[in-house]
Amino acid sequence: MHAAASTFHAGELAIQERVGVREQMAGAAAYIRDHMPDQHREFYHSLPFFFLGALDASGQPWATMLAADAGFIVTPDARTLDIRGGLLAGDPLQGQLRAGAHIGGLGLEPSTRRRNRVNGEIVAADEGALRVAVTQSFGNCPQYIQHRQHTPAPTDGREVQVLRGATLSAVDRELIARADTFFIASANMAADAGRGRGVDVSHRGGRPGFVRVDDDHTLTAPEFVGNYFFNTMGNLLNNPRAGLLFIDFENGDLLHIAVEGEIIWDGPQLRAFAGAEKLLRFHVREVVRNVGALPFRWTPPQPAMQNARTGSWAEADSVQAAAALSTSWRSFNVVDVVRESGDVRSFYLEPADGSGVASHVPGQFVSVRVPAWAGEGAASQIRSYTVSDAPDGRRYRISVKRQGVVSSWLHAHLSPGAQIELMGPGGDFTFEEGTQRPVVMLSAGIGITPMIAMLNGLLVNGSRTRHKHPIHFIHGAREVAHPFAVHLQTLAMGHSNLHLHVRLKRIDVQALKELLPFDDYDFYLCGPAGFMQDMYDGLRKLNVADERIRFEAFGPASVRRSAVKAASEVTQVAPVPVRFVRSGIEATWDGTHASLLDLAEANGIEAPSGCRSGLCGSCTVGLSSGEVEYTRACGVEPEAGQVLLCSTAPRAGSGPLALAL
């Protein structure tokens, strides 16, 4: 697809390609019209304010807010937008809006959370009145818009004070630090931008504190899931200059900031900020603050529902600090308990010390240490439980089926106000980011928990999806009212790419063949050991590649893989004889296994294990002779003469190994 023939320009297409949605977004061009629908025209005419993005004489974008009596925007026809005044005193765009200039327009009504976009070129400008020839018109969903109701501001006759500077003042920084909304103007005026050429102004919203003031000339803000048009980010890829607008809704100040923006694609700050897809870092070039310029004041906000799954920079800092604690036992408070079914309860856990939770990737787990209980004569017990929700930066949720001594203890003793020790998170059973294939999530029983966490991470805000390909969710349950049944139905109603199948009988490969259309899938498995082994073996017999089948395994290995690494994939190592003393079995380490635990199981030895990620210590065994090296950082440090089977391999050149197993 050539950029000039597309509604999207090269920068927008490049980002769509990078995040894996370009093919799916090709059809979205139909939503971007070259004319305004009647409902948009009526909406603009009803507004007493309007957001505008435009360039000054130097090519610097500015974002601003026009304000006048309702009706100051008129649409003589579907391709013409007339703006009759509204530019406030001291606005940085004064004298800059001339015929031939491009503008980006945004009609937004906080009291209804409605917004529509219109972009175009000024064809006439006369004494503050602008006539705009519309080039693009499209609607936007109400995501992240805080509900506010405006009222006329009291008039005291004072002139507007205009403050200018090259850096942010203390008052500016305070406004930004508590802001829950800002607007950003950007542009691509390149000759080869085709139909995407022009100026854009966009809304951004989040919880107060979602914009970080790094210093008096640097800001950082998260980019949440949007419409995948990538108008702003695509423009910044082509031209990093942008204009920001922050509004003091209580006092009527307008804070305009000219910046240069950069996209942060990865890193610990991004991973720590709940809900963030990318970060935008802004370097301040110029600041204009119009003190008390707006003729309106607004009521306190009612936060957008989407805010609940997003973070703040204070929380992100706590999350980053907590990452260093993920290999230590920490006390957590039980803040809520929810009954999911007759034998499953969800426990909501927050750090008892008031600090943050380490970030997790949906599908990972935490290890729980249960104290020795009176009368049992038992030592403390450790179990691993999937974090059954996507990260929110504040707490973990584990969903536990009552089916053993430890889980029964949790059901009996954990109520709001109780405390429990956790370590983690950890684990490798996570969704493959950026995959372009349809996905099949296969679960049975309590194996639904990592699948729910993955779904909650992928399907957000009622209708947005981070995976635009089909997701087939196939679950085997004993009863209709299984855990998360209502939640799954709600997700399926809001996301057209989610195909939900719940069966009240055993799922087998024949059932899969009946349910799934022919395609090239990635498979995710979680459930009882027999279920996963049967599904794995059945998929392999259908020639599904081993690397396309991912599964969770706590305790003894629940799936034995049939694939053997190709010679080119195996790191060549000198063979090391390994003797399992108690079992009387001898084997050879040749580098084809991931760990000594895998080697033991491949030779029919029932080795103890739990999390299989070095966190819980369940696989600790004695080392009788030889030396090992660790393959990962572990949360448990064994005593002298002991090793963690799941995270060790023979040390190269160390000689024969003997394990007390």
Query: pLDDT tens, 288-305?
Result: 999 999 999 999 999 999
Q: Which residues neighbour 174 within 8 Å (Cβ) at sequence distance 6 or greater? A: none
The CATH number of 570-659, from 3.40.640.10, 2.40.30.20, 3.10.520.10, 3.10.20.30, is 3.10.20.30
- The model's confidence at residue 331, banded by pLDDT at 50, 70 and 90, is very high
In sequence order, what are the residues at sequence separation of 6 or more whose Cβ sits closer than 8 angstroms to the Cβ of residue 287? 163, 164, 165, 166, 167, 168, 169, 172, 255, 256, 257, 258
Stretch 363-392: mean pLDDT, rounded?
82
Residue 321: band (very low, low, confident or very high) from pLDDT cuts 50, 70, 90: very high
Residue range 528-551: mean pLDDT, rounded: 92
Residue-level pLDDT at 282: 98
Least confident residue range of 38-47, 148-157, 223-232, 570-579: 570-579
Q: What is the mean pLDDT of residues 413-437?
A: 92
| Cβ pair 182, 121 in contact under 8 A | no
Q: Summarize the chain as % helix, strand, coil (round to 5).
A: 20, 35, 45
Q: How far apart are CA 210 and CA 213, in angstroms?
A: 10
Tokens of 554: 């706590």
What is the residue type of 9?
H
| DSSP assignment string, 128-174 | TEEEEEEEEEEEE--TTPPB--EEEPPP--PPPEEEEESS--HHHHH
Read off the pLDDT band of 567 (50, 70, 90). very low
Q: CA-CA distances (angstroms) from residue 416 to 7, 334, 350?
A: 53, 5, 11
Does residue 158 register a pLDDT over 90?
no
On the question of pLDDT at 461 being above 90, the answer is: no
What is the Cα–Cα distance from 119 to 137, expressed in whole angstroms? 6
Task: State the pLDDT confidence band at 635, using cuts at 50, 70 and 90.
Answer: confident
End-to-end Cα distance, the chain: 61
Residue 343: how many CA atoms within 13 Å on its side-chain side? 11
Supply the pLDDT for residue 177: 97
Write the pLDDT tens digit of every residue in 93-120: 999 999 999 999 999 999 999 999 999 9
**Average pLDDT of the chain?**
91
For residue 328 the two structure tokens come to: 């230590």
pLDDT at 3: 40
DSSP assignment of 83-134: EE--PPTT-TTTTT--TT-EEEEEEEETTTTEEEEEEEEEEEEETTEEEEEE
State the residue for tokens 């936060």.
303
Q: Higher pLDDT residue, 494 or 327?
A: 494
Asked if residues 29 and 1 have their Cβ atoms less than 8 Å apart, the reply is no
Least confident residue range of 150-159, 272-281, 477-486, 534-543: 150-159
DSSP string for residues in 167-196? S--HHHHHHHHT-SEEEEEEEE--GGGGGG
Parts of the chain belonging to CATH 3.10.20.30? 570-659
pLDDT of residue 376: 53
pLDDT category, 1, cuts 50, 70, 90? very low
Average pLDDT over residues 485-514: 93
Query: In the chain, what percentage of residues exceed pLDDT 90?
Result: 73
Tokens 């050991």, located at residue = 529
Residue 490: strand, helix, or coil: helix
Contact between 626 and 655 (Cβ < 8 Å)? yes
Which of 552, 361, 363, 360 shows the shortest CA–CA distance to 450?
363
Q: What is the pLDDT of residue 296?
A: 94
pLDDT in the model for residue 314: 95
pLDDT of residue 571: 58
pLDDT at 649 over 70: yes
Of the CA atoms within 13 Å of residue 627, those in its CB half-sphere come to: 6
Q: From 3.30.450.40, 2.60.120.10, 2.30.110.10, 3.40.50.1370, which CATH number describes the 3-314 domain?
A: 2.30.110.10
Q: What is the pLDDT of residue 554?
A: 63
Write 480-486 long-range contacts (CB < 8 A, 24+).
480/504, 481/341, 482/341, 482/448, 483/340, 483/341, 483/344, 483/399, 483/446, 483/448, 483/449, 484/340, 484/399, 484/448, 484/452
List phi, psi (to 5°) of 535: -65, -40
CATH code for the domain defined by 334-426:
2.40.30.10
Confidence of residue 5 (pLDDT cuts 50, 70, 90): low
Pairing of strands 114-126, 129-140: antiparallel
Alpha-carbon gap, residue 465 to 479, rounded angstroms: 29
CATH number of 439-551: 3.40.50.80
Looking at residues 521-529, what average pLDDT do you find? 94
| Model confidence pTM above 0.75 | yes
Ramachandran sector of residue 39 (left: φ over 0; alpha: ψ -120 to 50; beta: rest): alpha
Residue intervals in the chain for CATH 3.40.50.80: 439-551
Q: Which of 555, 585, 591, 551 is nearest to 571 (CA)?
A: 591
Whole-number pLDDT of residue 4: 42
Measured CA to CA in angstroms, residue 431 lies from 563, 568, 646 at distances of 21, 26, 22
Q: How far apart are CA 133 and CA 130, in angstroms?
A: 10
- Range(s) of the chain covered by CATH 2.30.110.10: 3-314
Question: Would you state the pLDDT for residue 639?
Answer: 86
The predicted-structure confidence for 9-27, as pLDDT tens digits, reads as follows 999 999 999 988 888 888 8
**11 touches 189 (CB < 8 A):** no
